[in-house]
Amino acid sequence: MPEHPTRPFRLGVAGPVGTGKSTVLATLCRELSAELSMAVVTNDIYTDEDARLLRAAEVLPVERIKAVETGACPHTAIRDDITANLLAVEDLESTFAPLELVVVESGGDNLTATFSPGLVDAQIFCLDVAGGGDVARKGGPGIERADLLLINKTDLAPYVEVDVDRMVSDAVAVRDGFPVLALSRNDPASIVRLSDWVRQVVAGYRAGRHVAHDPGPMAPHTHAHP
Amino acid sequence: MPAELGALLLADGRLPTGGHAHSGGLEPALAAGAGPDDVPRYLEARLRTVGLVEATAAVLTLRRCRTAGADVDEVQVALRARMPSAPARTASELLGRGLARLARRLWPEHPAVAALDSLGAPPLRPVALGVVGAAVGMSDAQVARASLYDDAQTVAAAALKLLPVDPTDATRWLLDAGPTLEEIVARALTCTGPDTMPATTAPLVEQYSLDHASRSRRIFVA
Ligand SMILES: Nc1nc2c(ncn2[C@@H]2O[C@H](COP(=O)(O)OP(=O)(O)OP(=O)(O)O)[C@@H](O)[C@H]2O)c(=O)[nH]1
Ligand SMILES: [Mg+2]
């Protein structure tokens, strides 16, 4: 059982390019910043676009939004060498102490990119319907074992000929009990479900009940002894 | 820890200190018009200017760390005075903090590592490097070489992302820079204190670093 934590809860949001990660961050800030003291870190690949998007959305005071450059290696910055992200998170934590929730957005990357357990306590993996209905079935560490999988932009499903229910049930089938959430920024009920999920993991963390687990880059496997 | 292993660690780009997001000023140099053929001369120019200054600062830090209660701050102040570009100082601080972060986790009891906290500002990369060198028992020459090699390898590795370069050719650049690098190692070792630290600068590199800081489209921190 983990001890009662002394630092804020750190939540990662990863997933392929353009699936709506920054929008999810904006949504979480809008929904939760009145009840939780928050800050965010973005990892941009080529610009500070994401940080600017969030600053422009005016969902959080601009000083609480930090952009980290990743040298064209977004997956390295969240997994193999998390130094730049840790420095940014720690700076925010000391400047705005006591923070309660820090959200780190990964630069858009491929399906195998997941956060190091050294950087975040839990992670959301974000897919969208526009990437194709079969992506969830393809699996991968984030899809299969992130703490929460989002199937985002469900409002677009009719235009891209994707059956959301089918995509969600494909995801449920590969996730071995981990939750899946269909989300759209135009669907208030889905936003409530997302916010509630975050509230619940933050509360669990504070109570010392949260058990961090690593989706890993590899599927967990066992070797049968002959 | 054997000093040889420490030297290898510090030269390894896989050491988690945040170095992969830096280009040693190459990205803005290319934006200012340099091309693949200019990279070897760029490497050489850095080694002879900022490279020499930084290697010297790393060696001076290391030497002071060997005597208890020695003043590393004096080296840091002398080095800051030789880095007129604010973005270049910030980039160096990020790398220095990365090294310091690692050192605090790995060698929290080492007096030199503990002394990092008494610095007024985040340690610049060469100062943090000297401290880590002390923690792993490296020699003066090893630390000077690690400082110069890291700088050159940062540029060469970034070139692979920024330019149409065969990775083997980038490796050759480093080997070709070897004699210069050893010459600068020897020069760094001759310095006796912060007051006689070299102050060779590279004004164009400084100008590029300022240009880079105000750009909104870039891949590397600096
Ligand atoms: N229709 C629809 N569009 C959305 C939704 N969420 C985000 N978008 C749009 O999708 C595009 C990408 O959204 P972002 O939030 O920037 O995605 P991202 O994953 O942060 O992108 P990168 O950081 O570049 O990988 C933008 O044009 C958003 O407006 C949604 O729920 N519905
Ligand atoms: Mg984004």
Mean pLDDT within B10-38 = 95
Backbone angles phi, psi at A126, to 5 degrees: -115, 115
Question: By the 8 A CB rule, do B9 and B133 touch?
Answer: no
Query: What does the angle CA B26 – CA B53 – CA B189 come to, to the nearest 5 degrees?
Result: 130
| Mean pLDDT in residue range A42-48 | 81
* Chain B residues in contact with A71 (beta carbon < 8 A): 20-23, 158, 161, 219-221
pLDDT for residue A78: 95
- pLDDT score for A153: 98
Q: What percent of chain A has pLDDT over 90?
A: 80
Comparing CB atoms, the residue among A47, A76, A87 nearest residue B20 is A76
Lookup: tokens for B114:
């503990």
Asked if residue B216 has pLDDT above 70, the reply is yes
Looking at residue A47, what is its pLDDT?
A: 72
Per the CB < 8 A criterion, the answer to whether A11 and A123 are in contact is: yes
Asked whether A170 lines ligand 1 (CB < 6 A), one says no
pLDDT score for A184: 98
Residue A50 Cβ inside 6 Å of ligand 1? The answer reads yes
pLDDT band at B117 (very low <50, low <70, confident <90, very high): confident
Q: Rounded to the nearest whole angstrom, what is the distance from the C-alpha of residue B99 to the centroid of ligand 2?
A: 28
- Determine if ligand 1 sits within 6 Å of the CB of residue A20: yes
**Quick check: CB of A42 below 6 Å from ligand 1?**
no
Pick from B123, B153, B144, B222: which is nearest to B189 by CA?
B144
Tell me how many degrees the CA angle B20-B171-B145 measures, rounded to the nearest 5.
Answer: 70
Ligand nearest to the CA of A109: 1
Q: Which residues contact A73 (CB under 8 A, 6 or more apart)?
A: B20, B21
pLDDT tens-place string over residues B158-200: 999 999 999 999 999 999 999 999 999 999 999 999 999 999 9
Domain A9-206, CATH homologous superfamily name and number: P-loop containing nucleotide triphosphate hydrolases (3.40.50.300)
**Structural domain boundaries in chain A:** 9-206
Percent of chain B residues past pLDDT 90, beyond the cut: 91
Residues B80-112: tens digit of each pLDDT: 999 999 999 999 999 999 999 999 999 999 999
Out of A45, A46, A83, whose CB is closest to B18? A83
Distance from CA of A73 to the nearest CA of B (A): 8
- DSSP reduced 3-state for B157: helix
Mean pLDDT (whole number) for A196-219:
91
Instruction: Among A23, A29, A52, name the best residue to mutate to test ligand 1's pocket (greatest count of ligand atoms within 8 A of Cβ).
Output: A23
Contact A104, A89 (CB under 8 A): yes
Domains of chain B plus CATH, in order, are 3-213 (1.10.4190.10)
Residue A13 CB–ligand 1 contact under 6 Å? no
- Answer whether residue A221 shows pLDDT above 60: no
| pLDDT-derived band at A2, boundaries 50, 70, 90 | low
Nearest CB to A46: which of B14, B98, B217? B217
Taking the CA of residue B220 and the nearest CA in chain A, the distance in Å comes to 5
The DSSP line for A120-183 is -SEEEEEEEGGG-TTHHHH--HHHHHSSEEEEE-GGGGGGTT--HHHHHHHHHHHTTT--EEE-
Query: How many Cβ atoms sit within 10 Å of the Cβ of residue A32?
Result: 20
Give the helix/strand (H/E) hosting A65. strand A65-69
Q: B-chain residues within 8 Å CB-CB of A82?
A: 16
Atom of ligand 1 lying closest to residue A26 CA: 15
CB distance A27 to ligand 1 below 6 Å: no
For ligand 1, atom 21, the nearest C-alpha belongs to A18
**pLDDT band per the 50, 70, 90 thresholds, residue A36:** very high
Question: CA of A37 to nearest chain B CA: how many angstroms apart?
Answer: 26
- Is residue A226 marked as binding? no
The answer, yes or no, to whether residue A219 has pLDDT greater than 70, is no
Asked if B17's CB is within 8 angstroms of A69's CB, the reply is no
CA dihedral sign of residues B86, B91, B92, B96:
positive
Amino acid at A20: G
Question: What is the mean predicted confidence (pLDDT) over B8-24?
Answer: 95
Q: CB distance A84–B102 less than 8 Å?
A: no
| Dihedral angle over CA of B81, B66, B14, B30, nearest 10 | 20
For atom 28 of ligand 1, the residue with the nearest CA is A20
